[in-house]
Structure 1
Amino acid sequence: MTASQVGRTELSVRNPDSIFVNGAWVTASSTTVADVIDSNDESVYYQVASAGFADMDQAVGAARTAFDDGPWPRMTHAQRAEFMRAMATEMEKRSAALADIWPRESGALYVEATQQGATAANILRYYADQAATYQWEEVIPPTRGGNFGLLVREPVGVVGAIIPWNGPLMLAMYKVAPALISGCTLVLKASLEAPGAAYVIAEAAEAAGLPPGVLNVLAADRDVSEALVRDPRTDKIAFTGSTAAGRRIAALMGEKIGRVTLELGGKSAAIILDDADLESAARSLAASECHLAGQVCASLTRLIVTRSRHDEFVDAVTAAFGAKRVGNAFAETSDIGPLATRAQLDRVQGYVDQGLDRGAVLATGGRRPKELDKGYFFEPTVFGNVDNQSVIAQEEIFGPVLTVIPAKDEDEAIRFANDTIYGLNSAVFTADVDRARHVAGQIRAGTVGHNSYRADFGIAFGGFKQSGVGREGGVEGLHAYLEAKTVVLDDIPERYR
């Protein structure tokens, strides 16, 4: 099956020449359009309106008015939940469109993309259910006078949600859904490389009858995105992307003491202890690195093993990862699809070349497959004998590249795992669950998995150090969209008696 054989009966993005503002599709003030490229064959999939400064101003204004004067923040949580459940149903109806978009824009395998509609719907329903289960108000006896105390959790205000090109739908939904149930209004800013999922979210919001201005959607470049961050009408930014961009957002929001959730880069370590089954560990790590061709911030790409087992483990990883088949994202035979863009292909090749120049041993891969002269494909790549201080061990490559790092012993392996500016994900491979828990307590990362890649948005996801600020997913993901208010009264209001 080729890309041209799936999903092309009609364009999966219905209003690419418009932006969604104040509950309607409107013509962008900017006449600039961006080509959205099919990463499988480098053809133009469609063109999208590249929003300008006036468009962003309009979107933020609509969100601000909807929050200050509109019905959304004044509804009960149960009322908002009904809109969200309707929106979930609309997302499910668009499963075929989402399954077509993600493989073309980002290189995800079609077999994974078919679950996108259901995933988005489940996230919306999960947060809709919090209307009945989350403790939005808590009665707490006052400690400094008064006879009745309340801790009330209220919406933070206008949210700017900025999403990347690799997993735009899920990363958008973990911002949109908790913000909506909390009573916030939003501007959802998509990347120009992969705007399709955000446009489908707008379609679903429109069909569900979300009040005007509650959710506004556009795609824009970095300058216009910065206008969203700088705008004094924006109370909070929720961002997923590079650490460099996150630093810039944090600095700008700091000027107005704005709220931020930053889910940033990673260079995550898997520690393979001496009692681990090397072949099982290799298969697990190779399988997880196939997802999105390694274009995942939480990828376990630093594989740390004791020096005495290094060569055996390199052989095992090479056999497991090198056997993965690279090809069109729609082909049932493909294990790894393309990278998202030409720039990303060049970036990955550049890092591989640096690794070779610095003396790392290339065990497999390292280039674009010879038989695939169209599309942004890259071979599954393994480096052995990698110095933990080298560029390929310290910087985020964002491609199908694994580095095996030898360590003297368990203590040095833990030290190597923590010797990075990042702290997003990690894993410990061992047959001993108590040993796994002990090592997990020493790793400075937002997630530690046992014997597998275990990033879990259902509990909470986020990073230590320069991998971010705050958490997304689960009940923990609600907190960032709420402000805590203390109310102390002289008597008990009737509704609490």
Structure 2
Amino acid sequence: MTITVLPHRDTAGLKAGQLFIDGEWASARDGSTWTHHHPATGEEVGEFAVASAADVDDAVAAAGKAFESWGRSTVTTRVSVLLKYAGLLRAHADELRALLALDNGVPLSFGNIYATSVTAAADVFTHHAGWVDKVGGTTLPPYQGGDHLAMTFREPIGVVGAILPWNAPFLLFAQKVAPALGAGCTVVLKASEYATFSVVRMVELLAEAGLPPGVLNLVTGPGDPAGERLITHPDVAKVSFTGSRAVGKRIVEASAGTLKRVSLELGGKSPALVFPDAPNVGLAAMTTMGAVTMGLSGQACVANTRALVHREVYDEFITAAQGMAAAVTYGDPFDPGVISSPLINERQLERVLGYIERGKSEGRLVTGGERLDGDYADGNFVAPTIFADVDNSATIAQEEIFGPVLTVVPFDSEEEAIALANDTEYGLGAGLFTGDTARAFRVARRLRAGTIGINGFQIEPHLPFGGFKQSGLGREGGRSAFEAFTEEKSVLMPLGEEMM
């Protein structure tokens, strides 16, 4: 039976997306629009505005004007908005999940997985509301003697350009917007063209929470021209971006002209290290393969797409991973029996199939490797794929594929496993499966990665998240993320007649 998502548009409350600038919804200045095609069916779902450079200028100007008051707003004001918004997110969780399914095809069954859920986004706003009255300056004793004060203050950095990816807009909206608003910054937010309708609704709810006009502005459309203008605008003080490494490098280049502050999360090729003393090798295999296939179908920056497996349990791991691959279901994202999504667009589909073709000469194809046809022919579906006996230097073991492809690399010793895990340009995450507590901490300390899960993996709002090496700059989550939206200022003042 042919898959269709069109019957869900009306019940989900989907409507044409507009720009949100200075508290008002409006079309793009030049009237440009983008037609969104659903990745599971190819159907036209709806339209939204494509912001021009002039629209971005308007948004930045509105944010700059609003910063004069929001940057000096009281703790009570900011905390009240953030907490009220967290409550609205929780109340509208089902609605937002449905809109996301229309955006990027992530099934409703996956929408309650914490790391990508509306609940996680609400928790991030709640968490950062708690930092508003706790991140401040210090008073320090003078080195030079005399009667004077040496003080520091933390002040909001100014206008922030926040650029979202399509794969996890709930969490990443929260990880960027909550600390920025809590610190007193104003924001120009750019949604991905592949996940706009859910972000539009999130912005509507933020306005409903009482955020003053201009404090948060939304521009939509592809990276050029909206994203390019945002990262080069002289009045944007900081850019926070999650996405591809190529775009991240472009942002660093663009920031040089005005020395913008940047926070970048740029992907990974994260390893899962499976030792023979793992509590349950089969479960380790299912967890690893599940992260590559369930939900986002491997389109997640922190997914463990490299499995480094000790030879003693190598065959057991591959057999269990193959069983997990066989259990993955595709189709209508509104069907509760569907647990995985299509690839986001045809370009990504061709990219993943190209890597798979390359992998056939770099390893042993255990399962998968093909585009799904039949009822799935109109969507961008690729079967869960496993390559075994792969050398860690192979292309499919080094480059981020961003699809349902797991490469399995054997090792013989702990030292070799650590060396293989760190032999990558990335350093975002890692998984570690062992029943030896000493080994767990010993290996975790030596892995060059920002977030490491031991016998499991989770994202927490109060833990910093980010990467080593080319996985990015800075962290999101926790106090360090909040402070990243501030500048530290030193103030010295004599209290007596002496002059310093």
TM-score under structure 1 normalisation? 0.93
Deviations 1:85-134 (A, max 9, x none): 232333334323311122222222202325744333222222112224x2
SS in 2 for 1:414: helix
Q: Secondary structure at the match of 1:137?
A: coil
Deviations 1:332-376, CA, capped at 9 Å, x for gaps: 2222222222222222111111101x2311111111223322222
Any idea what SS the aligned residue of 2:464 has? coil
Distance in 2, Cα, partners of 1:142 & 1:463: 37
Q: SS state of the match for residue 435, structure 1?
A: helix
Matches of 1:408 and 1:10 in 2, distance apart? Answer: 55
**Pairwise CA distance, 1:31:** 2.0
TM-fit CA distance, 1:144: 4.1
Deviation per residue, 1:379-412 (Å, 9 max, x gap): 1111101111111101111111111011232211
Q: Specify the alignment match of 2:291 in structure 1.
A: 288
Q: What is the alpha-carbon distance in structure 2 between the residues aligned to residue 368 and residue 458 of structure 1?
A: 39
Tell me, in whole angstroms, the C-alpha distance in 2 between the residues paired with 1:431 and 1:342: 42
Separation of aligned partners in 2, 1:409 and 1:431: 16
Contact 2:109 2:339 in 1 (8 A): no
Q: Determine the C-alpha separation between the residues in 2 that align with 1:8 and 1:180.
A: 32
Amino acid at match of 2:28: A
2:19 is paired with a residue whose SS is: strand
CA distance in 2, matches of 1:353, 1:456: 37
* Residues 431 and 83 (structure 1), Cα distance of their counterparts in 2 relative to 1, 3 Å cut: same
Change (3 A) 1:6 1:332: farther
Contact 1:6 1:100 in 2 (8 A): no
The one-letter code sitting in structure 1 at the alignment partner of 2:287 is S
For structure 2, the 5+ residue unaligned runs are: none
* Matched residue, 2:377: 373
Which residue of structure 1 lines up, in the alignment, with residue 185 of structure 2?
Answer: 184
Tell me the residue number matched to 1:137: 137
Matched-pair contact (CA < 8 Å) for 2:266–2:471: yes
Q: Could you report, residue by residue, the CA deviation over 1:123-168 in whole angstroms, capped at 9, with x for unpaired residues?
A: 2222112224x23232332334553232211101110000111111
Instruction: Name the amino acid aligned to 2:94.
Output: A
**Residue type at the aligned position of 1:342:** E
RMSD over aligned CA atoms reads 2.0
Number of matched residues?
A: 487
SS in 1 for 2:180: helix
Indicate the SS of the match to 1:321: helix
CA contact (8 A) 2:12 2:98 kept: no
Give per-residue Cα distances to partners, 1:158-200, cap 9 Å, x unaligned.
1000011111121111100000010000100111121123211
Q: Which residue number in structure 2 is paired with residue 248 of structure 1?
A: 250
Q: Is the 8 A contact 1:100 1:110 kept in 2?
A: yes
- What are the equivalent positions in structure 2 for 1:12-91 lying under 5 Å apart? 12-16=13-17, 18-67=18-67, 69=68, 71-91=69-89
Q: Which amino acid aligns with 1:143?
A: Y
Instruction: Work out whether residues 56 and 230 of structure 2, in 8 Å CA contact, stay in contact via their aligned partners in 1.
Output: yes
Specify the alignment match of 1:397 in structure 2. 401
Using the aligned pairs only, state the percent identity.
39
Inter-CA distance 309–91: structure 2 relative to 1 (3 Å threshold): closer
Amino acid at match of 1:488: L
Q: Is 1:96–2:98 an aligned residue pair?
A: no
Distance 2:460 2:387 in 1: 28
Inter-partner Cα distance in structure 2 for 1:189 and 1:386: 39
**Do the aligned partners of 1:22 and 1:62 also contact (CA within 8 Å) in 2?**
yes
Determine which of 466, 471, 489 is the counterpart of 2:493. Answer: 489
Write out per-residue CA displacement over residues 406-438 of structure 1, whole angstroms, 9 at most, x where no aligned residue. Answer: 123221111111111000000111001111100
Aligned to 1:355: 359
Give 2:10's aligned residue: 9
- Partners of 1:169 and 1:37 lie apart in 2 by 20
User: Contact between 1:160 and 1:186, CA under 8 Å: does it hold in 2?
Assistant: yes
Q: Is the 8 A contact 1:77 1:182 kept in 2?
A: no
SS of the residue aligned with 1:216? Answer: strand
Residue 420 (structure 1) aligned with residue 418 (structure 2) = no
1:173 counterpart SS class: helix
Distance 1:243 1:382 in 2: 25
* Preserved CA contact (<8 Å) 2:12 2:99: no
User: Is the partner of 1:448 in helix, strand or coil?
Assistant: strand
Quote how far apart the aligned CAs of 1:476 are.
Answer: 2.2
3-state SS of paired residue (2:138): strand
TM-score (norm 2): 0.92
Separation (CA, whole Å) in 2 of partners of 1:222 and 1:177: 23
Hey, what's the Cα distance between the residues in 2 that align with 1:491 and 1:74?
26
Contact map agreement 1:189 1:217 (CA 8 A) in 2: yes
Which residue number corresponds to residue 495 of structure 1?
Answer: none
Please tell me the residue identity of whatever aligns with 2:109: V
1:332-343 correspondence to structure 2 within 5 Å: 332-343=336-347
Cα distance in structure 2, aligned partners of 1:58 and 1:106: 28
Q: Would the aligned equivalents of 1:106 and 1:292 in 2 still touch at CA under 8 Å?
A: no
> SS at 1:462's partner residue?
coil
The amino acid of 1:278's aligned partner reads: V
- Equivalent position SS for 1:42: coil
Which letter does structure 1 place at the counterpart of 2:435? Answer: A
Query: Residue deviations 1:429-461, cap 9 Å, x none?
Result: 100111110001111000111012334443110
Match of 2:205 in 1: 204
* Match for residue 458 of structure 1 among 450, 458, 462: 462
1:444 paired residue number? 448
Match of 1:316 in 2: 320
